[in-house]
Structure 1
Amino acid sequence: MSPHPPFARPHSGASIGARLTILIVIMVIGAAGIAGFGLRELRLTLLHDRQDKTRNLVEVAHGVVERFGAIAERGGMSREAAQTAALETLRGLRYDGKEYFWINDMAPRMVMHPLRPDLEGQDLSTTRDPAGTPLFVEFVRTVEAGGAGFVDYLWPQPGGTDPVPKLSYVKGYQPWGWVVGSGIYIDDVDAIFIRQATITAGIAAVIFTLAVVLASRIVRGIVRPVRALRRAMGDLSDGHLDVVVPGTEAGDELGDMARALDALKQVAVTAVRSGSGLDQVGSPIMMIDGDGVVFHANQAITAMFASVSAEISRSVPGFEPGRLIGTPIDRFPVAAGGEHRGGPLSRILLGGAEVRLDLGGRTFLLVPHPVAGRHGQPLGTVVEWNDRTDELRIEGEISGMVAAAVRGDLSARIPLAGKAGFFLTTSEGINRLAETVSGVSEDLADALGCLAAGDLTRRIGTDYDGVFQRLGNDFNATADTLADVVGRISAGSRDLAERTEQQVSSLRRTTATMEGLTGTVRANVRTSVRVEEAAVAAHGSADKGAGVAEDAVDAMRRIEESSSHIGDIVSMIDEIAFQTNLLALNAAVEAARAGDAGRGFAVVATEVRTLAQRSAAAPKDIKRLIHTSGEEVHDGVVLVRAAGSALTDITASVGKVADLIGVIARATSKQAEGLDEVGVAIASMDAMAQQNAALVEESSTAAESLESQARELTSLISFFTLTAEAA
């Protein structure tokens, strides 16, 4: 929890207005500092400009002295005349109205001073300014050290008596031992600086004043809307969803903030409505965040947990239904041997899987529903708790009743005590179904018992609905059909007895005829034995012929293989001839190249000789194979002759078989005469047998139909156990 209430500013913090004011003050101070730094740089710039100007002017004066010195060196005038001309020229020079040049020597003595001619010719080594600086000695030292340079000292302005700070630039002319110098008064630079600083300060004061006024207006323009937005956010945090967000019409960033806050208000209204809706939903629902901590629980789940808190406390020690918010959902244990193997409940639910919990003898089914924001970011998970304890108990009762019914026990019923609503309606319907099935089964059992005892007059007279009525009708129709079939079977049996007597008389005549036929058949048997012996002999001859034929075929196959080898050898000869031609061509090319290329010709010739040897060997192989083929052909001729001899023997055997067949034919003619009489008797028997067969077929069909229907009825009721009285 935050240490401060919502939207309350900590004591150590500053408001936005104070921070902006501090920022403006810092900016003013910074601007003043920048202005001061600028003025300082301005003074330094003015001083440097004057220094540069003085140095340049002294350089000009030094150039005048050098000019006259050069004239004297060339002999254009004497040294004294040149010095006098140079002094007079510099004595009359002025700049900036009052500034002048002077010359002293290295003694130092004053050579020329336009404003203090009384100093000319005097020794100035002891002359000091009010600060004690031997200025002319410093001039000489500066020239001796670097040939030129600046020297600070105090000197009265022209027309004045009070010494003021002055900065002079001196440069020595070594041929004459002179030091040419001029200086600027610092108070002149300060006067210019003060004038510029006054102007700058005035402009800066005006700008600062305008900036402060403008900044104050900007601060008020920021602070007031921010405070209004803060009040609106405070009202929203207090639950006042009808607050009007100010400043939404503004076109600046504060307007964007106001519009964003207004959109946030709409989201909050939607969230409150959703939360209120969840509170009013009849299903027990809670919401958990990404860490599995409960941050919302509706009234239904609170009421459900309150009603079963005693049972849940056995599995969750210290469980309090009224303190669900902030409780990690992992406090509810998951069975270690279950589908999820005892994993943390939060991880299972956040993964979108349903979970079954057994808490203190009650069974709950947890169904997760992930909730995402407008842009798909996860906002939490809605967990629906379904108490399935009563449902599973009733499910077990129904399963037990169904299992008993499967075993044929239809006496079981579902207890109705303690049930209400859907479960009561379902239990009553199942009980009525069991009673109906039991009644139908008892009626069928009674009817089938009578049928088994041979009573075909029993019928099912109870009126049922649907398939049960159809089952009763089918049983009654089966009994009717069975009675009709039994009657028809009785009449057919009497007719069959009469026809059987006639058939016995015909069979007596057939017996006498068959005795004569038996003697003829015996003669045929003896003849058949001799035919079999001749056939065995013919078969042996045929076997010899088959063996000879197989040998002939094998010989011809070997001839074919030899021919195949001959073809391969011929192909090889062709290839050798082709390669020989190529090598011959290469040899010709090598020979044409001349020079040392003769070695290549020798190699090619060797290859040609090798191929020629192979070409010579191939005809020998061909000759040998041809000889072998001739021998194989000769063997084939011999075998064919043997086959002809075997075929001659077969022909003789076949002649004997023909004689025997003649004997069989004569015996068969006698059999034909006896068979004529048998045919007449058999024709009479066949007619009566056909009539008997028709009757038997009808009897068989009726019996099969009756058997099929009986089996069907028996299978329908065989798994039911009826009461002792009905049985």
Structure 2
Amino acid sequence: MRKLGFKQKLWLPLLVSLTALLLVSVSAAYLSYQTRIEERKNDLVNVAHIGLSIIQEYAALERAGTLTGEQAQQQALARLRDIRYGEDGYLIVINSRPRMVMHPIRPDMDGKDLGELADADGRHHYLSFAATAQAPQGGFVDYVFTRPHVSPAKAVDKIGYVVRYAPWDWIIATGAYVDDIDAAFYNSLYAAGGVFLVLALLLALLVAFTNRSIERTIGGDPRYAADVTGAIAAGNLAIAIRTRRNDTDSLMQMIRHMRDALRRTISEIRSVADNVAVTAREIAGGNADLSARTESQAAALQQTASSLEQMTSMVHQTAENARSASEQASAAARITDRGGEMVLEVVATMRDISGESQKMVDIIAVIEGIAFQTNILALNAAVEAARAGEEGRGFAVVAGEVRNLAQRSAAAAKEIRGLIHNAVGKVGAGAELVEKTGATIQEAQSAMARVTGIVQEIASAVSQQSAGIEQINLAVTQMDNVTQQNAALVEQAAAAAQSFDAQARQLQAAVAAFDVGEHPLTAQQAQQTAAVRRDARQTRLQTAT
């Protein structure tokens, strides 16, 4: 059954039904034939036993002595000779030799030896009568015999029944033609054949129209439809589907529309999946680069913050020293102001001034060292600001101001050093220039006023520098915190991009199970595309920078 096609499967029940109908028709005709034959045989048996009962009746009269044996036989034969049934039925009597005892139609055969007589087929039916009659219940004999009153005369089939009365050795035989039964049997066969042919033709037309309707509805053989749907279910969306011309509403046409819609959908999904995969790889690569650069920037900011902390500490020290220098300059000013009143104590005062001048020399040396270190730190800060690029531009301006202040501090310290040296020289020659003390003190007052102004400016500048550096340090600390947070976010983005890339690969693998007749991007082509896009992005970034 599996090897049969759809049309063959539809035709097979018809053939089986027609075969069954033919068998039933033939069987019914044959059963009818057998029934009529049995009826005919029963009629023969009944007629023969009627004849036998007549013989038995006269034999009883013979045994009773009412009739002699010859009288009984003659009267029995007379009655048997007159028995008729049907159109041409009669009884004959023969004996076992065989010899004709009585023939009602042909009296000339009475007493004639029948051993050599044969029917039209060459069968010695009288010998068969004698042999069959030896059975207790008699029996039937088939033979052919000419039907009377029919022109032209023709031998037809006939059934004979014989039964024997043993005391007289009489065999009662009778026969019936069966050609009418054969003709009726053949007529029934012809009628059944005609009905069978008409039904077969009608059923064949019905099956043909049904096949055509089903085939038009399906659009092809169901096995072909099953193969096509199986291929589509297996992911082959490039399979060719054959349909008849001008087919618009069959199952196969709907399957073709479904295949085309699926192929378009899967093609779009595959294209999007390829683009998503390339974009995911590009994002993953960009996030990896961004993460590395962010980590590098965070490290640089940490170093900058550490350097600013050191600079802040040094600036605080410079501010303390400048404050101390300002106080010392104020004290020297007050001393020079009282110089006029302490002319008498010039020598002692000169000695004190000499000692104080020595301390001022030391302080100036410290100021010069601080100015020198501040200048170096300003240079380092300018270098770091240059490395920071656009974000370090403000810091570069502050570093330049710090450097200018450091240079001014160094210049002022040098000037103070020169003044102190002059004051020390004058103190050494104070004894000789006592008379000039007043004038010298006046000059000292003027010089100390200038020193006081310069030291105050230095202290003010250092205080401003300290405040500015503290703000820079705070800003850099905030930048460091933000950069650390950005680095964490970049790492999260990189992990998300990796997950996105993995999901994109899974999507590609899922849609790769469908064959739409196109060649998807290979992994190498996708990597090349991602590399080209990444290079283009880096070029744009470099151009913008």
TM-score (norm 1): 0.36
More helix by share: 2
Higher relative CO (Cα under 8 Å, sequence separation at least 6) belongs to 2
Query: Under a length normalisation based on structure 2, what TM-score does the superposition of the two structures give?
Result: 0.47
